[in-house]
Chains A and B, each alone.
Chain A
């Protein structure tokens, strides 16, 4: 069975600093990988996804993530964060031979300080 671990529950960072949110997964088959963002009092919004091809995936709002199969990781990065990036970020995985179950990590709260 697939599982997702987000090692950091909270990440404080100053505005304009770089940030990396970590995500590791476990699966016995090939996977699809997603990052979602949740702003306060809202639902989840897709940031980016890896389905196949290039391991470096670019998403919205200047975020990118790199799929590393050997390390079973899909870390999210941004070179310079803004106050408006303050939100909860969720990594999710879906095995490509199963019916649709997305498994979510526990989430990482990014707190950008001025």
Chain B
């Protein structure tokens, strides 16, 4: 399906490791998002970038560090994570970060396991 790709699809890391998740969108969108999806919890918005500027940081711990070098690419840098950070991390994009242009297109996600 997609418009929005994420790599890797699966990642296992120790608590002392540093790793990065990558998202790329081929839809010409200007807004990109990171979500966390944990078992039995609602989808949690983490970060929003609109025209490469971060417009939302939803009280995310500093061990998660986003980077948006251009409108097509979004990274999530991970360091010293905790086991409770294990989840599916979803990337999404939309035409812009507002109102009716809010239809978001999602990538397949990265399944992260922290040991």
Q: How far is the CB of B38 from chain A (nearest CB, A)?
A: 11
Q: Which B residues are in CB contact (< 8 Å) with A98? A: 98-99
State whether A99 touches B104 (Cβ < 8 A).
no
Q: Taking A45-B106, A100-B50 as contacts, is the C-beta distance between A32 and B100 under 8 angstroms?
A: yes
Q: How far is the CB of A15 from chain B (nearest CB, A)?
A: 25
Q: How far is the CB of A100 from chain B (nearest CB, A)?
A: 4
State whether B45 touches A99 (Cβ < 8 A).
no
| Interface size, chain B (Cβ < 8 Å) | 30
Q: Does A55 contact B (CB under 8 A)?
A: no
Q: How far is the CB of B98 from chain A (nearest CB, A)?
A: 5
- Which of A61-69, A73-81, A102-110 faces chain B? A102-110
Alpha-carbon separation in the docked complex, A42 to B98 (Å): 25
State whether B42 touches A105 (Cβ < 8 A).
yes
A102's partner among B4, B41, B102 (CB-CB below 8 A) is B102
Q: Does A83 contact B (CB under 8 A)?
A: no
| Interface size, chain A (Cβ < 8 Å) | 25
Q: Which A residues are in CB contact (< 8 Å) with B100? A: 32, 51, 96
- A-B contacts, 29 of them at CB < 8 A, read A32-B99, A34-B103, A36-B106, A41-B108, A42-B1, A42-B108, A43-B4, A43-B108, A43-B109, A44-B43, A44-B92, A44-B106, A45-B1, A46-B104, A49-B103, A51-B100, A90-B43, A94-B99, A95-B99, A96-B99, A99-B97, A100-B96, A100-B98, A100-B99, A100-B102, A101-B48, A102-B104, A107-B42, A107-B43
